[in-house]
Structure 1
Amino acid sequence: MTKKTILVAGTYDTKDDELTYLSDVIRAQGGNVLSMDVSVLGDPSKPTDVSKHDVAEAGGSSIQQAIESGDENTAMQIMARGSAAKALALYRAGQIDGVIVLGGTMGTDLALDLCAALPVGVPKYVVSTVSFSPLIPPERLPSDVQMILWAGGLFGLNSICKASLSQAAGAVLGAARAVEAPKRDRPLIGMTSFGKTVLRYMVTLKPALEARGFEVAVFHATGMGGRAFESLAGEGAFAAVFDFAPQEVSNHIFGGLSAGADRMTNAGKSGTPQLIAPGCYDLVDFVGWQDPPQQLVGRETHAHNRLLTSAMLDAVERRTVARAICDKLSGATAPVALLLPQGGCNEWDRPGGELHDAGGLIAFCDEIKSACPENVMLHAMPDHINDAAFCDRALAIFDEWIASGVVTGK
């Protein structure tokens, strides 16, 4: 087996012992280490493979400028930009197979930028005193990052923190050895959805698209899934997207589980053809074990499980969501087809269902028709999103795109 090389990054002026321990564990397990110093004021006990000067220059600045800023936040943002650029360059040059970053709040802030710069499939581990903390907003988390709490290790080594550090070192090396990186040997379709209890189109569409020679990745649109979807869409990784569960747009507007302000924009910016449908547009998901956001108090809700609860939007709010979706699609640089299932957009909103609101659905559909931008082809249909006719229409549009060269499969 070819030896795997792990990038070990951190502030070697203050965390030298801990970073050296991580490196020693990786080497003892048969891996190689490439070290990166992201310090500003001090120096490591011995030179690192990537110096703090290299990092600052990659961030478009210098250590001296970072020091002269007189502000630790400004200084560390310089180092964050530089470490991200250097890590990506090292990966593209084939010099590293994974990365592990250690830090407190300052180091974690940097670590998130560094890890976000690396593609999906590259093992990324963050050892942090604030792992899993509400200090870290979901939109800052790279889609496949792993974190472990750096317990009892803020200052110096001890048996408690060594347990965390050694686990993380073994985990990143093991991941680098075991990872099956995306092959990209077939054109990839990105699809958003929820579980089959509420949205069912993926059950039909996934095998149908695979039969046409495509690979299909379905993203669970509950915040982090949307972040992963948008990250890949921004890279131009998809031949086309079937973004049929854009509920995260509603979540972002009304205080639910947001995937970030850029949700539903990156495929358009990257020139990726988009099939869009408003699955679950009428619901806002929030953390089920917490009180609902103030603006959702008193709403009709559906407790999906102990973790997640959905609240219904009223007719006025649904019009707001419709305008937001149309505005996001207006900037697309490739063809967009918007499927509008006027029979309903999730299983719970059918006539007789617990979240049925005929007036709200009509208001949403009317606003979509009114606000739909010129660059978007609107396909209004009488069916429900979970009806077979919806999948038939989506596949017919997609087949037309293949035939006309809109989707090339490259």
Structure 2
Amino acid sequence: MRNTSNFVYIATTADTKGQELEYVQRLIAALNLPTRTVDLSTRSLPFDSPADISPEDVARHHPAGAGAVFCASRGQAIAAMATAFERFILTRRDIAALLGLGGSGGTAIITPAMQLLPIGLPKIMVSSMAAGDVSPYVGASDINMLYSVTDLAGLNRISRRVLGNAARQIAGAVHFAAVDYDDHKPAIGLTTFGVTTPCVQALVAELGSQWDCLTFHATGSGGRSLEKLIDNRQLHGAIDLTTTEVADYLFGGVLPCTTDRFGAIARTGIPCVLSCGAIDMINFGAPHTIPARYTNRLRHPHNPQVTLVRTSVRENALMGRWMGEKINACVGEVRFVIPTGGVSALDAPGQPFWDPAALAAFMQALEETVHATDKRRVIKTPYHINDPCFAQAVAEQFRYIVGGE
């Protein structure tokens, strides 16, 4: 059941979107939900704000004070208000949901704060920017981006429908909050890719009776989502099997992690089994999008929109050192389990990416870099990553470090 003492927060720049704010607030209130409206306007000229919480109230949360927000530069003002709104949101303990309304500026202000809210708390951003690349706005969160179709510059026959849908959607999400039927089991996160799916499926089958298994597609945002949940202490362990995002990060692919990959594991000390799934590939779009430096490189068409480029011996050595340094920062129980028989469905005898020398370079660099301890170990197995025996070996290591066996 919903907590009736909490509010649906509605945030926008009311100096330009006051009509929209009042319209949406009335709709949600009519659905028997309490609301709090937040004005994020950045202009310094005074005006009568229709919101419950004024721009000055939010701006005071900026580390440098409200003066950092109400400045001459619009770009600086937007960035400063985004920071202030993030800090404002972190002070609130009464948020049932957050609905944002904005154009380019408002969306840039509101969505960073949305990303700080817990996964599962309803968050909808109605935006004129939602028809383009929304990855910077969504990040690793579960933000629902709703395209406004017309600009949010007054009410009309289109905006009323879109805003009405947004109001009813967020009200429905609050009224009919999902019940977690598996919350009696501790949760673990696993990373997967199409070319490592058999291994992950075997692990879920092996561990699923005791653990709530959450799988994350290793597409850049997938790794960030995994680590967001680790940082938020919502996972009890991790099997970070598919670390292909590192290849894209280091070598210019389209599905990269960030420099903070594995940082949440280090910060929290969560028990984790790592591996090198799909490090044999760098992901790009259609063939014409591949950078010229990879012109003569072995490639494989995954589908018309995705082309895979084989990582080289040198690149594998670089990945081994990069991951090794990250592992050295981990103080909890960490096992890096290597499938010496190949790291993906394409990296196997008779398959297009089979290259034992590349994997050997990775292993050598990793072992030379990692400072092994009782809690931090590199373990080599003779299996291919999709061999059921490898999944069994990973499961055994995981059970050992979490104290299950």
Query: TM-score, normalised to structure 2's length?
Result: 0.90
Answer whether contact 1:139 1:227 (CA < 8 A) is retained.
no
Partner of 1:23: 25
Pairing partner for 1:78 from 74, 77, 80: 80
Partner of 1:253: 250
Partner of 2:383: 383
1:115 deviates by: 0.6
Gaps of 5+ in 2: none
Partner of 1:209: 207
Helix, strand or coil at the partner of 1:133: coil
Answer whether contact 1:345 1:384 (CA < 8 A) is retained.
yes
* Change in CA separation of 1:387 and 1:11 when aligned onto 2, cut-off 3 Å: same
Answer whether contact 1:85 1:117 (CA < 8 A) is retained.
no
Answer whether contact 1:189 1:241 (CA < 8 A) is retained.
yes
Distance 2:196 2:398 in 1: 23
Pairing partner for 1:53 from 48, 51, 56: 56
Look up the equivalent residue of 2:96 and give its one-letter code.
Answer: D
Answer whether contact 1:138 1:224 (CA < 8 A) is retained.
no
Distance 1:29 1:294 in 2: 56
Pairing partner for 2:69 from 48, 66, 69: 66
Helix, strand or coil at the partner of 1:201: helix
Answer whether contact 1:199 1:385 (CA < 8 A) is retained.
no
Answer whether contact 2:11 2:100 (CA < 8 A) is retained.
yes
Partner of 1:291: 289
Partner of 2:220: 223
Answer whether contact 1:236 1:267 (CA < 8 A) is retained.
no
Gaps of 5+ in 1: 406-410
Answer whether contact 1:13 1:43 (CA < 8 A) is retained.
no
Answer whether contact 2:101 2:125 (CA < 8 A) is retained.
yes
1:338 deviates by: 0.5
Amino-acid identity (%): 27
Helix, strand or coil at the partner of 2:367: helix
Answer whether contact 1:126 1:146 (CA < 8 A) is retained.
yes
Partner of 2:299: 301
1:227 deviates by: 2.0
Distance 1:274 1:402 in 2: 9
Distance 2:291 2:177 in 1: 39
1:188 deviates by: 1.2
* Change in CA separation of 1:333 and 1:63 when aligned onto 2, cut-off 3 Å: same
Answer whether contact 1:10 1:38 (CA < 8 A) is retained.
yes
Distance 1:238 1:207 in 2: 18
Distance 2:398 2:334 in 1: 11
Partner of 2:403: 403
Answer whether contact 1:283 1:312 (CA < 8 A) is retained.
yes
1:245 deviates by: 0.3
* Change in CA separation of 1:14 and 1:237 when aligned onto 2, cut-off 3 Å: same
Partner of 1:268: 266
Look up the equivalent residue of 1:162 and give its one-letter code.
Answer: R
Q: Which moved more, 1:286-295 or 1:242-251?
A: 286-295
* Change in CA separation of 1:175 and 1:85 when aligned onto 2, cut-off 3 Å: same
Partner of 2:309: 311
Look up the equivalent residue of 1:287 and give its one-letter code.
Answer: G
1:337 deviates by: 0.5
* Change in CA separation of 1:403 and 1:148 when aligned onto 2, cut-off 3 Å: closer
Distance 1:383 1:26 in 2: 57
* Change in CA separation of 1:329 and 1:203 when aligned onto 2, cut-off 3 Å: same
* CA displacement, residues 22-46 of structure 1 (integer Å, 9 cap, x when unaligned): 2223233443321011112255645
Helix, strand or coil at the partner of 2:150: coil
Query: TM-score, normalised to structure 1's length?
Result: 0.89
Answer whether contact 1:59 1:78 (CA < 8 A) is retained.
yes
Q: How many residues align structurally? A: 398
Answer whether contact 2:272 2:398 (CA < 8 A) is retained.
no
Answer whether contact 2:238 2:270 (CA < 8 A) is retained.
yes
Helix, strand or coil at the partner of 2:403: helix
1:191 deviates by: 0.7
Runs of 4+ in 1 over 6 A off after TM superposition: none
Look up the equivalent residue of 2:22 and give its one-letter code.
Answer: T
* Change in CA separation of 1:290 and 1:11 when aligned onto 2, cut-off 3 Å: farther
Look up the equivalent residue of 1:106 and give its one-letter code.
Answer: G
Answer whether contact 1:339 1:381 (CA < 8 A) is retained.
yes
Answer whether contact 2:320 2:365 (CA < 8 A) is retained.
yes
Distance 2:65 2:141 in 1: 30
Partner of 1:408: none
1:317 deviates by: 1.1
Q: Which moved more, 1:180-189 or 1:151-160?
A: 180-189
Helix, strand or coil at the partner of 2:336: strand
